[in-house]
Amino acid sequence: MAAEDHTQFKGITKIGMENISTNLLNGIVDFYQWALLSIGGFQNINIPTAGFSGGNRHSLYPVKDPNYTDGQVWAGFRSDWVWETGVPTDNINQQPIRVSGIFVENTFNPVTPYKDREVHSGTSKGYVDYPGGRIVLDNAIATTSTVNCEFSHRYASVISADTPWYRELQFNSYNVEDDDYGAFGTGNWSQLSETRRHLPLIAVEIVPRRTFKGYQLGGGQWIYQDVLFHVLAENALDRNQLVDVGSLQNDKTIWIPHYGVIQESSKFPPNLDFRGSPQPSSIMYPDLVGPTADKTEPKPKGGFRHRKVFITDTRVQEMGEINTHLFGAVIRSTFEIVEGSI
């Protein structure tokens, strides 16, 4: 065992590099998003796809966004579109739809990831903001235009509880037959996607409860970190489904990436840029947590594996009806991490 340096911190070599909470939180969100897709946690919206009682789910509506000209931004009835590719098909029989373009008055207009627009100069008409569930056009069109699109949206959003997920929950987001769907600048869909959340959702929270235990002679620590999963849904069926998903992961092991290393690598950002548009070489979750044996840059597939995490002591703490339109539950799990440098 090396002599201890009494002038330096242990377990921390650089601000932002060994942040246990950040790596764990982002790793859990990334794992849940990918794993939900692999069990069919998405819906493909083809042309045509009708609503429950009328309306068209494939129709986009104009968004009044102060950052753009009216008629430049067009959104779907639900946000959080699926950008991932190569989803395992062991339990499902289809892949999510990667948006290739929109139909404006029945004329196809291709769209591409933002950074691919120079390659497709002259053909691409805009880019896709996948988390926002919208298309941003290079040039505005009439807000009365008929715009259709094929896309996939997630069944449930998985987000950090630190984000303003509670700002405004949107109920009945599937009801495209409502009179205010498609109304420009007014109605239930007039809120920008970043200020409203569709249901169901899971909000992941790293809580202030962490304990330690010696790992082995010579150093290292077991870190025991509690995590809460806040489940919100419009009905008991969706709430119960997500409670089962979360609680049944007890005694499961997952890998989490090292986001500090990712941030300093040539692969940053690894999947979506700040516009919500995929990078030219977006890294899927299985590759993101791939082995780090390949130290060359740029890493061909990812290889940012950091820590193996064991999920234990999972219990459902709360489960009830908040009001007639909102059902909630809280799942608590303890995540065990081995940190050999402390």
- Quote the pTM value: 0.85
- 197: its two tokens: 């959340």
Query: CA dist 327 to 167, 168, 235, 239, 240, Å?
Result: 17, 15, 6, 6, 9
Distance of alpha carbon 41 from alpha carbon 157, whole angstroms: 10
Cβ neighbours around 310 below 10 Å, total:
15
Distance of alpha carbon 15 from alpha carbon 109, whole angstroms: 45
* Cβ atoms of 12 and 230 closer than 8 Å: no
Tell me phi and psi for residue 168, to 5 degrees: -155, 115
Each residue's pLDDT tens digit, 150-192: 999 999 999 998 876 555 564 554 455 555 545 555 555 455 5
Distance of alpha carbon 169 from alpha carbon 184, whole angstroms: 20
Instruction: Please list the alpha-helical segments (H only) found in the chain.
Output: 20-38, 236-247, 259-264, 285-288
Query: CA dist 128 to 34, 93, 113, Å?
Result: 20, 25, 6
User: Which residues, 6 or more positions from 304, have their beta carbon under 8 angstroms from its beta carbon?
Assistant: 257, 258, 259, 261, 262, 265, 267, 270, 288, 289, 290, 292
Task: Specify the pLDDT at position 269.
Answer: 81
Tell me phi and psi for residue 37, to 5 degrees: -60, -40
Which positions of the chain have pLDDT values less than 50? 170, 173-174, 181, 189
Task: Specify the pLDDT at position 189.
Answer: 45
CA atoms within 13 A on the CB side of 65: 21
Classify the phi-psi angles of 16: left when phi > 0, otherwise alpha if psi is within -120 to 50, otherwise beta: left
Distance of alpha carbon 196 from alpha carbon 171, whole angstroms: 10
Classify the phi-psi angles of 173: left when phi > 0, otherwise alpha if psi is within -120 to 50, otherwise beta: alpha
**If DSSP states are collapsed to H, E and C, what string results for 222-274?**
EEEEEEEEEEEECCHHHHHHHHHHHHCCCCCEEEEECHHHHHHCCCCCCCECC
3-state helix, strand, coil in the chain (%, to 5): 15, 35, 50
Domains of the chain plus CATH, in order, are 20-38+202-339 (3.30.2000), 42-154+168-191 (no CATH)
Cβ neighbours around 280 below 10 Å, total:
10
- 267: its two tokens: 């692969």
Tell me phi and psi for residue 303, to 5 degrees: 65, 45
Distance of alpha carbon 7 from alpha carbon 133, whole angstroms: 50
Query: CA dist 61 to 72, 103, 161, Å?
Result: 11, 12, 29
